[in-house]
Amino acid sequence: MWAARIIFIPLSINLTERLWKYSKNALQAYYEKKGKFKSKIKEFFEEDVKDKLIKLELKTFIGTAFQIISG
């Protein structure tokens, strides 16, 4: 027998949408190769977001509930 399970997601989806919108604007460029585009996205989320200016912009753009979690 199959049953649906409802899972509560504690983070606001709006935060995720705002982060995606910010990253889309930051990465707005034409990339000839898919690999270059993928590496730029990875670089943005792993390196660029550590920059103090970008952190400040993200807090302003997304809100004060946003926190970068180091992995």
Tens of pLDDT, residues 24-61: 888 888 888 999 999 999 999 889 888 888 888 888 87
Say how many domains are in the chain. Answer: 1
> Can you tell me whether residue 22 is helix, strand or coil?
helix
The pair of three-digit structure tokens given for residue 58, joined into one six-digit string: 């993200």
Range(s) of the domain holding residue 41: 33-65
Q: Does residue 59 form part of some domain?
A: yes
CB 44 within 8 A of CB 51: no
Q: Does residue 27 form part of some domain?
A: no
Q: Does residue 43 form part of some domain?
A: yes
Q: Does residue 54 form part of some domain?
A: yes
Residue 8 pLDDT = 62
Q: Does residue 26 form part of some domain?
A: no
Q: Does residue 17 form part of some domain?
A: no
CB 37 within 8 A of CB 54: no
Other Cβ atoms less than 10 A from the Cβ of 62: the count is: 19
Q: Does residue 52 form part of some domain?
A: yes
Other Cβ atoms less than 10 A from the Cβ of 58: the count is: 20
